[in-house]
Structure formats: C-alpha cells, structure tokens
Amino acid sequence: MATRSCSYAFLLLVAFQSAVMKGDTVRPPPQCRPVPASTLEKIEFVLNLIVYRAEIFLRSSVGRGINGISPGLVQGPVPIGATVAELDGEIRDIIEEFGLSGVGHIRAIVNVTEIKAPVARPQLNFSRQLFSDLIDVVLNGSALTPPFDVYGATTNFLFVAADASSLLQQYLLGIIPSVVGDAERRLVAGIALKVAAEFGVIRAQLYGRANSTVSPYKFTVANLTMLISQLVNQLAGCGVKDEGLMVPLQLGAENRTTSNVVPADVYSLASPRYERELLKILFGTGNATRPGGFFPSGFNGTLFRRIQTQGLS
Ligand SMILES: *[C@@H]1O[C@H](CO)[C@@H](O)[C@H](O)[C@H]1NC(C)=O
Ligand SMILES: *[C@@H]1O[C@H](CO)[C@@H](O)[C@H](O)[C@H]1NC(C)=O
Ligand SMILES: *[C@@H]1O[C@H](CO)[C@@H](O)[C@H](O)[C@H]1NC(C)=O
Ligand SMILES: *[C@@H]1O[C@H](CO)[C@@H](O)[C@H](O)[C@H]1NC(C)=O
Ligand SMILES: *[C@@H]1O[C@H](CO)[C@@H](O)[C@H](O)[C@H]1NC(C)=O
Ligand SMILES: *[C@@H]1O[C@H](CO)[C@@H](O)[C@H](O)[C@H]1NC(C)=O
Ligand SMILES: *[C@@H]1O[C@H](CO)[C@@H](O)[C@H](O)[C@H]1NC(C)=O
Ligand SMILES: *[C@@H]1O[C@H](CO)[C@@H](O)[C@H](O)[C@H]1NC(C)=O
C-alpha cells in the first residue's frame, strides 16, 4: 500500500513537471502580463471596452448611444465625432444587434457586481479624422486621398468593428482565468463567448470581401486587415496576437491552410491581451500611461489609475 501511494505520488510529480515543461517556459515580460487586480477592478476595466464598442456600434448604426437605448445606464462626457455610417442593410442589422448586446452586458454587470448604474463613461473620440490619421499611420504615413472615411462605406466600418471586438474578446480571455466567484465567472464567460461569436461574424464579413479593393483605393481588404493587425501588434509590443485574413501556410491552422478567418495561435487557441497592451493600442501612443486616440482622457476605474500612479507605461 505504502509503495503504491508512493508511486502515485511519483507519477503525480512527473505529470506536474511535464505540465510545467509543456507550458510556456518563457515567461512573458511584465508589460505582457496581467496587472495584479481584484475581480471588481478587472470588470471595471472591461466596462471601458464594452462602453467604447457599444457606443460606436449604436451611434454608427442607429444614431443613438447607450443612454438612448437604456436611459441612465452610463454617465460621463458625450462621445466626440460619432455619426450614422453608410452601412448596407445586413451589416446595419448586425452592428445594431451587437451594439444592443453591449447594453445587455452592461446591465448584466450592474446586476451581478457591486458596480452601480450609471456606469462611468470615459471620454471617447470617434472623430473621422482620428480614424483616417490611424489608417495613414497603418500605410506608413502616406496620406490617403481622399482621406479614409470610417463612416463612408460598409467595408470601412467593418475594420473598426472587427478591431473593437477583437480587443474586447482578447481582454476578456485575459481575465477569465483569474476571475473569482461563480456568478462573476459565469458573467465574464457569458460576455466573452458572445463577443467572440460576434467577432467571428464580423471577420467572416471581412473575409468574404478579402480580395475586393477598398474603394476608391488600390489596396484590398486583405491588405488593409493585415497592415492594421501589424500596427496593433506593434503598439502592444507583445508579439503576434492579431493577424490578417490570409496568412502563409505555416501560420494557418495545422499548417494546412492560408485562410485565417478567425486568428489564433499555433494550437488554434485565441490569444489573450492584458491591461497594458489594451491601453497602448487604444491610446494609439504605445504607452499605457499616455492617453490619446480613442480615449483622450484615459480609462475610468481604479485599475487604470493604479497603472498611471505606478507608471506602468
Ligand atoms: C440578476 O441577478 C439575479 C440574482 O442576483 C439573477 O437571478 C438574475 O437572473 C440576474 N439577471 C440578469 C439579467 O443578469
Ligand atoms: C470617467 O472619465 C471621464 C474622462 O474620460 C471623466 O470625465 C469622468 O468624470 C470619469 N468618471 C468617473 C466616475 O470617474
Ligand atoms: C479627437 O480626435 C481628433 C483627430 O485626431 C482631434 O483633432 C481632436 O482634438 C480629438 N479630441 C479630443 C477631445 O481629444
Ligand atoms: C511600411 O514599412 C515597413 C518597414 O519599412 C514595411 O515592412 C511595410 O511593408 C511598409 N508597408 C507599406 C504599406 O508600405
Ligand atoms: C482571394 O484570392 C486568393 C488568391 O487568389 C484565393 O485563394 C482566395 O480564395 C480568395 N479569397 C476570397 C474570399 O475570395
Ligand atoms: C494585397 O492583396 C492581394 C490580393 O488579396 C495580394 O495578392 C497581395 O499580395 C497583397 N499585397 C500585400 C502587400 O499584402
Ligand atoms: C507548423 O510549422 C511550425 C514551423 O513553421 C512548427 O513549429 C509547428 O510545429 C507546425 N505545426 C504543425 C501542427 O505541424
Ligand atoms: C509614457 O508616458 C508617460 C506620460 O506621458 C511618460 O512619463 C513616460 O515616460 C512614458 N513612458 C515611455 C516608456 O515612453
């Protein structure tokens, strides 16, 4: 009996060691890891992303914001620059639905956690100029003529819709392993799976247009998607987590395909992103403590304030 339990212990030890060895042996640097925080602080942080996405989706599809759907749900400065976009009927339905699901997710957070309505809304900048400046950066600083108009065509808006969804999904994946509490885990996983499905729908729409040119320019949808993903990866500085719609075989699923409708790692797992990466990307500054871009006054909540105070740029 003693021998038996001893060998069990040995087997367990071996299993544990091989699990450790099979995992990522190279620990990512601190700026690519979660910032220590409570579950509530992480949910506060993710609210910034949910509000950001719901506001632009609703304002672009139906010309109303979150409070226009659910009065008093959010409070804070009115987003700058959003306007109804030229979307074809199918995409307008999709974007409106996904904007509305964001409102539901905020209500669910208010229901399950200590966070109360009205939820803090950060200053958001959705100005046409900001998007066109970003696309110029994506294209290595050569100014497009005419300037890229995010609200001017269905395809133009899809790039933004995909990125907003990707970032939210990546952060949710980043926090899932550390969320404490059954209700909180159900909440975060429920939001994450819904947003991941929505991200897939939007990527599939982009994939269907992959070889079309982005009118009136020469480059294709696949070209721009790839270039945007490169800029996002560069701003975040934590490796390749965003990818284009078509990839070399060795980056495709099981090295057997060049299609890349839904990006993932070598095991086809979704890639998480953490707080500092998100801030660097959404501020557009590559610096998590230097607000700008879509969040000119930074994020709301304790976790962002701590990142600033501690200078975790
Ligand atoms: C709100 O929370 C209660 C329990 O706290 C739960 O029964 C109910 O289903 C929740 N509703 C939503 C929409 O999350
Ligand atoms: C949230 O941030 C905005 C600036 O982005 C600020 O105006 C607002 O007061 C903040 N809300 C709270 C509750 O801190
Ligand atoms: C919003 O972005 C535009 C374009 O970059 C910029 O001119 C404007 O100052 C920004 N607004 C705020 C409040 O940051
Ligand atoms: C931008 O510049 C980088 C590095 O010089 C290059 O790899 C990339 O292909 C360029 N992109 C475009 C769209 O010209
Ligand atoms: C785009 O073109 C490539 C190369 O010709 C082709 O393999 C791919 O199927 C096309 N994709 C779409 C969505 O049309
Ligand atoms: C742009 O897209 C076309 C077709 O989708 C592809 O053949 C070409 O290689 C792409 N160019 C770059 C620079 O990615
Ligand atoms: C795919 O190719 C990479 C090298 O490019 C290799 O590391 C990986 O093991 C390959 N994956 C499969 C499933 O063959
Ligand atoms: C990030 O921005 C802050 C505030 O502007 C600055 O103090 C800090 O030095 C910057 N960090 C890096 C790495 O550039």
Give the 3-state DSSP-derived string for 68-98, with helices as H, strands as E and coil as C.
Answer: HHCCCCEECCCCECCCCCCCCHHHHHHHHHH
Between CA 185 and CA 45 the distance in angstroms is 15
Q: In this structure, what token pair is assigned to residue 4?
A: 């038996």
Number of separate domains in the chain: 1
Q: What is the mean pLDDT of residues 9-30?
A: 54
Q: Using pLDDT thresholds of 50, 70 and 90, give the confidence band for residue 5.
A: very low
Nearest to 298 by CA among 169, 78, 124: 124
Average confidence score pLDDT of the chain: 93
Owning domain of residue 168: 39-238+273-309
With a 6 Å cutoff on the Cβ, whether 220 touches ligand 2 is no
What pLDDT, on the 0 to 100 scale, is given for residue 218? 95
Q: Provide the 10 A C-beta neighbour count for residue 195.
A: 27
Task: Decide if 59 is inside a domain.
Answer: yes
Between CA 52 and CA 77 the distance in angstroms is 12
Give the number of whichever ligand sits closest to the CA of residue 181.
1
What pLDDT, on the 0 to 100 scale, is given for residue 159? 98
Give the number of whichever ligand sits closest to the CA of residue 140.
4
* Residue 8 pLDDT greater than 50, yes or no: no
Question: Among 18-27, 143-152, 186-195, 224-233, which stretch is predicted with the lowest mean pLDDT?
Answer: 18-27
Phi (first) and psi of residue 161, to 5 degrees: -60, -40
What pLDDT, on the 0 to 100 scale, is given for residue 25? 61
- Rounded to the nearest angstrom, the distance between the alpha carbon of 254 and the centre of ligand 7 is 7
Task: Decide if 229 is inside a domain.
Answer: yes
**pLDDT digit string (tens) for 95-151?**
999 999 999 999 999 999 999 999 999 999 999 999 999 999 999 988 999 999 999
With a 6 Å cutoff on the Cβ, whether 51 touches ligand 6 is no
Between CA 25 and CA 110 the distance in angstroms is 39
Q: What is the mean pLDDT of residues 9-18?
A: 38
Residue 120: in which H helix or E strand, if any? strand 119-120
Q: Provide the 10 A C-beta neighbour count for residue 159.
A: 22
* Residue 7 pLDDT greater than 50, yes or no: no
Between CA 301 and CA 46 the distance in angstroms is 10
* Residue 24 pLDDT greater than 90, yes or no: no
Report the alpha-carbon angle 149-85-205, nearest 5.
85
Q: Using pLDDT thresholds of 50, 70 and 90, give the confidence band for residue 15.
A: very low
> How does 165-187 read in b/e, with b if 16+ C-beta sit within 10 Å?
bbbbbbbbbbbeeebeeeebeeb
Q: Read off the pTM.
A: 0.91
What pLDDT, on the 0 to 100 scale, is given for residue 257? 97
Task: Decide if 84 is inside a domain.
Answer: yes
* Residue 2 pLDDT greater than 80, yes or no: no
Report the alpha-carbon angle 79-80-84, nearest 5.
90
Between CA 225 and CA 233 the distance in angstroms is 12
Percent of the chain at pLDDT exceeding 90: 91
Nearest CA to ligand 2 atom 12: 120
With a 6 Å cutoff on the Cβ, whether 227 touches ligand 4 is yes
Task: Decide if 203 is inside a domain.
Answer: yes
Task: Decide if 68 is inside a domain.
Answer: yes
* Residue 11 pLDDT greater than 80, yes or no: no
* Residue 18 pLDDT greater than 70, yes or no: no
Which residues, other chains included, contact 209 with Cβ-Cβ below 8 Å and sequence gap of 6+?
155, 158, 221
With a 6 Å cutoff on the Cβ, whether 287 touches ligand 8 is yes
Task: Decide if 72 is inside a domain.
Answer: yes
**pLDDT digit string (tens) for 57-88?**
999 999 999 999 999 999 999 999 999 999 99
Percent of the chain at pLDDT exceeding 70: 92
Give the number of whichever ligand sits closest to the CA of residue 31.
8
Atom of ligand 2 nearest to the CA of 296: 5
Task: Decide if 182 is inside a domain.
Answer: yes
- Rounded to the nearest angstrom, the distance between the alpha carbon of 211 and the centre of ligand 5 is 6
Task: Decide if 248 is inside a domain.
Answer: no
Q: Which of 22, 240, 255 to mutate to test the pocket of ligand 7 (most atoms within 8 A of CB)?
A: 255
* Residue 17 pLDDT greater than 90, yes or no: no
Nearest CA to ligand 1 atom 1: 111
What pLDDT, on the 0 to 100 scale, is given for residue 14? 37
Q: Using pLDDT thresholds of 50, 70 and 90, give the confidence band for residue 19.
A: very low
Q: What is the mean pLDDT of residues 186-200?
A: 98
Which residues, other chains included, contact 25 with Cβ-Cβ below 8 Å and sequence gap of 6+?
none
Q: In this structure, what token pair is assigned to residue 126?
A: 């959705």
Using the structure block, give the residue that is written with the tokens 């108009």.
149
What pLDDT, on the 0 to 100 scale, is given for residue 142? 87
